[in-house]
Structures are given as C-alpha cells and as structure tokens.
A and B are shown apart, each in its own frame.
Chain A
Amino acid sequence: MNLRLVGRSVLPVLGAGIFLWPAAHAQAVPQHFEKHFAVKGKPVVVIQNIANGRIEVKSWRNPEVVLTGTQASDKISIESEQAGDRIGVSSNLVDASAQPTEMEADFQLTVPEETELQLKTQTGLILVEQVMGDMTLESVAGDVHLKEVSGYIIVTTKSGSLVCTQCAGKLNFNSISGGAQLLQPALSNVNLFTTSGNILFDGDFVRTGLYTMKSGKGLVEVRFSTSDSFDLNAQTSTGTVDNQAADFLKPDSHGLKHMASKYTKSFFGTIGQGLAKVELSSYSGTIRILKRD
C-alpha cells in the first residue's frame, strides 16, 4: 500500500475524529469520586452543594469520614479540604453555560456516630441516619429525611418537607411550603413554622418539653397518648380547631388563667399533670387534636 493510498483512507477518519473530539468530550459523563479523611474526635462536616443532588449521611464506628459520590459533568467541580476534624466539601460551577442536568452532584457520607453536620443542597433528598450531633440542614426544594438522629437539629427549606423518625434532642424547622412529620419523636424542644405546609406530630411528649407548631394555611395535627402529660394551647385566626379528644382534656390546673382572644378561636386544656407545654396555631388552617389508638 503506498503512502498516498494510506493518506486517502486514514486522513478523513482522523480528521472527522479530531473534529468530533471536543463535542464528545463535552458530553455530560457522570464521574465518580471517593475521598477518605481520618479524624480523631467528633468531626464537623460541611457540604455546600450549589448543584442539585442528594446528600446521604450514614454512620459507622470507624474514626474516618468517607465521601463518595458522582457528578453529572465536568461543568461543576467538587472540592474538599480537611483541617483537623473539620472537613469541608463544596461543589462549584466551572462552566456558566451548564444546563440543570449537568449541574447535578450526589454525595454519600459515612461518618463517625458523633458528628456535627452542616449540609446545604438545592434540590434532592437530604437523608441522615443514626448520627448524634448538632446539625444544620438546608435545602431549597429537596426533602429532608432524618432517622434516629439526635442533637440540636435545624432544618430550613423553601418547599422541601421534613420527615423526622425517632429523632431526639431539639428541632427547629422553618419552611414556606414544606410540611413536617415527626414520628415517634423523643424531642424535648420543638419549634416548627411553615406558611402553607402541614404538620404532623405523632408520638410522646417529653416531660418538661416545649413544643411550638405553627402553620399559616396548613393542617396542624397532634396525636397523643393518654399517658402523656402536657398543657395544650391551640388557636387560630380564621381557621378551625378540630378537637377529637375533648374527653381526655381537662381545664388547665396550673393557676395560669388563659384569656381567649376575641380575635381568635382558642382551646386550652391539660392532659395528665400538664408537665410539657404544647402550643399549636394556624392562621387559616385546621388544628386537629387526636388520641392515638
């Protein structure tokens, strides 16, 4: 085969390859990443995800934080740093022309049981299981699921909802349209505020606990057991109070005289000795009080 013939057959292919290479390279190819961070005490892990995606956190008994995940394209970069027991992870936009699908990054964290967390993502689930430590979790549109976590827990969303199962400690939740479900909680201090989401508290009230649950337009539902002990104050401006447990509630016996405002529909009552304090309110939604079976 002479050189001219080789040139005729190979060069067009080579030329096409060179021409198409940048396009093929720019396609969104998911990339996997994995990093290990040895820690000594209780680590503090901060994730700032400007991209969309889920963050999963689970615990183990090893003194090590393991970060794994995927990024949808190289139009975002994942950067991390460690300073002692503080670990920071962030996703950054590299190419401003990135489409939403190219701006996705999912994170999986495995951390020691006692770890402090500060996590922020745009959309996508934040899931934390079996972690003990203070945590600040922020999501724009993603839901937040917590299971068997304890500490001072702050959850802020715009439209994402919170499901907190067997959580302990203190919980502060604020959302515009997201709801909150607290299932089998062991929380001693609860402060929930949502403008249009629903709130469900299904579980026991810790004695001496303080519980404030407010929804602007949504349903606030509390399911209690007869072994609970709490003072209840429920009020709404233009909504309704649906008290399906009137037989179990008796007048407040703590000497505090409740004055019902003439502008609101209010309900006061005590279960047991009234050791915990429960305040429920809604501007225009429904407050429902139920006894669990």
Chain B
Amino acid sequence: MRDSIQCQGLAEAIEQEGLSPLPESAREHLARCADCQDLLADFNSISKAARELPAEVEPPARVWISLRAQLVSEGLIKKEGPAPEPARRARWWGGLAGLLQGRALATAAVGLLIFVAGAMQLERTSAPPNRELPGVSGSGGKAQAEEPDALTDSGTALSNQEHELRAVQPAGTLPTSSPVDDDLQKDLQTLNAFIADCQRHLKSNPHDQLAREYLAGALQQKAELLAEMMDRGRSVN
C-alpha cells in the first residue's frame, strides 16, 4: 500500500544521497512499496543509460547558465536559496550532470531554450497585442522590446556554441575538408544570415509573429546543424 509520506521520504533520500546505498528506513519502505520499486528501477535505468553515453565535449557553462536563468525567469524552477546541505546536494545533481554531459545534452539544452522561447511566444500571442507591462509606461511595442527575449538568448547560446565548436575544430568548421563539410559550412552561413535578418526585422517589428516563427525554426535548424558538424568531426577525426 502506498504511504505518501514515506514515499516522499524515499524520494528525498534518493535526491540527497543518490541511488545507493539507501538508508535503512528507506530500504524497509522500498521492500514493501511497489510504486517506489518502480521509481527506483526507473532511476537505475536512466543512470545506466547515461553511463553508457560516450564521454564527449562538455557543453559550455554558459549553456547551463543561460538555460537555468531562463527556467528561473519562467518560474519553472526556483532560485536556489541557501541549501541546508549544499555539498550533499551538489554531489547527487553534479553527478547526474556529469553523466549527461556531451553534445547531446548541449543540443538538448539549446532545443529546450527554443522550446521555452516558443512557450513565451504563445503566451505573448494570447495576450492583448498592446498590453503594457506593470510598471512600464509607453506603447506595447516598447514594453515587449524591454522584456527579456528568449529567442535572443537562444541565438546567443548558439553563437557561443558555434564559436566553441570552431575552437575545437571539428570537421565542418575546418577549412575545406570534404564536399559535405563545404555544404555544411554554406548552410551555416545561410542560417546565420537568415537569423541576423530576422533579428534585425524583429527589432523594429517585435510583434511580427510570422518572423518570430521563422526565427525559432532557423534557430532550431542551427542547433541541429551544429550537432551534425560535431558528429562528423567525431567520426572523421
């Protein structure tokens, strides 16, 4: 039978201590709670799968920072206060972050940023077009221009990712190495030019929903293109 308090205790124990060894009380509860056994099995599966991921280039710290800042601003996570046991928490989550580091996560992070940007965009669409932010006077356009723009953050994160890719010189960001790499380079230039064009347009027309959609689509494509370049770099080099 499910005991929600004890289940909560087990979840907290896992969060703070990791998957093993669990405290005696948690193990006793686990032995008789099918739900928690399922939960632990899921954690073990995720952990096992994550360990099998190849060690790759660590995503830049700014991706984490930008992602976290975005999630905080969206209210999806809370700003971390003084934790009662910072070292122990850091060990568990730090370990998970370590397991998941790599290109896939970097791409996922950028993808998540674009997703958040899309969510913000939907929120804006549902709001009256000329709304004014509390405490902000002037036109709605001005108000929106002063809002933190998730699409801009995504673009910045991707530009940083691109620069770091060039720094490690994977195939595709090197000078000519193969016709495919040349094509990837051209596509990157195409996307950069298009993204810059959309961003310029949106500065003067921040409510152009269609332009925002195209910008989001191009940013998503850029994230995938950089991932492809990274993949090719790994397989060729």
Q: Is B191 an interface residue (CB 8 A)?
A: yes
**Complex Cα gap A3–B72 (Å):** 89
- Interface stretch (choices B7-15, B35-43, B55-63, B203-211): B203-211
Give the A interface residue count (CB, 8 A).
30
A261 lies within 8 A of B208 (CB): yes
CB proximity to B under 8 Å, residues A223-239: 235-238
Known A216-B218, A237-B208, A237-B211: A123·B190 in contact at CB below 8 Å: no
Q: In chain B between 213 and 237, which residues have their CB closer than 8 angstroms to a CB of chain A?
A: 214, 217-218, 221, 225, 228, 232, 235-237
Question: Do A263 and B187 have beta carbons less than 8 Å apart?
Answer: no
Contacts of B205 in A (CB 8 A): 237, 263
Query: Residue A29 at the B interface, CB < 8 A?
Result: no
Minimum distance in angstroms from A126 CB to a CB of chain B: 14
| Contact of A159 with B197 at beta-carbon distance under 8 Å, contacts A50-B235, A216-B217 already known | no
B-contact bits for A109-152, CB 8 A (1 contact / 0 none): 00000000000001100000000000000001100000000000
Q: A15 within 8 Å of B by Cβ? A: no
A195 partner, pick from B183, B210, B217, beta carbons under 8 A: B217
Whether A140 touches B190, Cβ cut-off 8 Å, given contacts A195-B217, A216-B214, A283-B214, is: no
Q: How far is the CA of A160 from the CA of B217 in the complex (A)?
A: 18
- For chain B, the count of residues having a C-beta within 8 Å of the partner chain is 30
Question: Could you tell me the distance in whole angstroms from the C-beta of A104 to the nearest C-beta in chain B?
Answer: 11
Interface centre among B179, B201, B210 (most CB of A within 10 A): B210
Q: Among the listed B179, B208, B228, B232, which residue makes an inter-chain contact with A264, where contact means beta carbons less than 8 Å apart? A: B208
Given A216-B218, A237-B201, the answer on whether A263 and B209 have CB atoms closer than 8 Å is: yes
Contact, CB under 8 Å: B191 / A140: no
* Bound CA span A93–B209, Å: 45
A263: chain B residues at CB < 8 Å are 205, 207-211
Given A50-B235, A217-B194, A263-B209: A176 touches B187 (CB 8 Å cut-off): yes
- The CA of A235 and the CA of B211, in the complex, are separated in Å by 11
Q: How far is the CB of A234 from chain B (nearest CB, A)?
A: 11
CB <8 Å contact, B190 and A195: yes
B210 touches A236 (CB 8 A): yes
Q: Does B180 contact A (CB under 8 A)?
A: yes
Cβ of B198 under 8 Å from chain A: yes
Using A195-B191, A195-B221, A196-B190 as known contacts, say yes or no to A122 and B237 having CB atoms under 8 A apart.
no
Q: Kindly state whether residue A12 has any CB partner on chain B within 8 Å.
A: no
With known contacts A96-B237, A264-B208, A196–B179 Cβ distance under 8 A: no
Interface string of A83-101 (1 = CB under 8 A from B): 0000000000100100010
| Complex contacts, B207 vs chain A, CB 8 Å | 263
A140 / chain B contacts, CB cutoff of 8 Å? 180, 183-184, 228
B235/A93 in contact, CB under 8 A: yes
Chain B residues closer than 8 Å to A100, beta-carbon distance: 177-180
* Chain A residues, CB < 8 A from B235: 50, 93
Q: Is B27 an interface residue (CB 8 A)?
A: no
B79 lies within 8 A of chain A by Cβ? no
Candidates A141, A195, A217; contact of B180 at CB < 8 Å: A141
Interface bits B124-166 vs A (CB < 8 Å: 1, else 0): 0000000000000000000000000000000000000000000
Contact of B210 among A122, A177, A237 (CB under 8 A): A237
- Flag whether B186 is at the interface (Cβ < 8 A): yes
Chain B residues near A50: list those with CB within 8 A: 235
A158 close to B217 (CB less than 8 A): no
Question: Residues of A contacting B180 with CB < 8 Å?
Answer: 52, 100, 122-123, 140-141
Chain B residues whose CB sits within 8 angstroms of the CB of A283 once the complex forms: 194, 197-198, 210-211, 214
Q: List 5 A-B contacts (CB under 8 A).
A: A158-B187, A176-B187, A196-B194, A263-B209, A263-B211
Other A-B contacts than A100-B180, A140-B180, 4 sampled, CB-CB below 8 A, are: A141-B183, A177-B187, A237-B201, A261-B208
Minimum-distance CB pairs A-B, first 4: A263-B208, A141-B183, A100-B178, A283-B214
